[in-house]
Amino acid sequence: MQLNNNTIFITGGTSGIGRALAEAFHRRGNQIIIAGRRKELLDEVTRANPGMDAVELDVADAAQIQHVASRLIARYPKLNVVINNAGIMPFDDAGGALDDAKAVHLVETNLLGPVRVSAAFIAHLKRQPQAWLINNSSVLAYVPLAATALYSATKAAIHSYSLSQRFMLRNTSVRVLEIAPPWVDTDLVHKSGDPRAMPLDAFIAQTMDKLSTATDEVLVDAALPLRANVGPDEHAFVNQFNTALVNEPIPVA
């Protein structure tokens, strides 16, 4: 991926990995637009990073996504990178009662949010000479954490959706990248300083380094053992499987 001279829109850009990624790209000479639900946090980040822009957005709100996308495309006609980073991580009990409202909000935010944001920008991105869609999943997409079963499932869904996006966009100028973080010490759940968590600055440094040559996934070294649980040939197999169906479509009644 080209790491400078981009116009980048990133959701969930007010804290944690989102803010750190936004600031890392900002330092490399990119125009950054961050999105978040709370104006005071957006203002705090933009004050600390002159030249960065911000927009209020709740990615669980489909109508708001469309409105924000239209505004940003008009204001930034060279926008060529969309980073789907916003997410929440509540604990749940897959062996117990379901809080239905909390579950729906999680799926709206973590799964439908990135799907809707991507769809809102995709026609514009296809018109750019070079463009990237970057989806932030998790190593829990490959090895779920039972205490956050539904969160893990949404990240597995984002991984699967990214594979399909990559295939469907294969003949366009849009490349699809997936960042799959390990446990990073952020405030997504509770910033603890736990030695088992990867420090945020180390995660960002490795991620930016790997983004420069990435063609599909962006995995820091700590994530590799969990990713290997699925196997390294997944991309080739998915491509082969879908190509076979393109060449010999399934009949539709």
Candidates 76, 142, 151, 161; catalytic one: 151
Long-range contacts of 235-244 (CB under 8 A, 24+ apart): 235/163, 235/166, 238/163, 238/167, 239/167, 242/164, 242/167
Tokens at 140, concatenated: 């829990």
142 is catalytic: no
- Catalytic residue numbers read 151
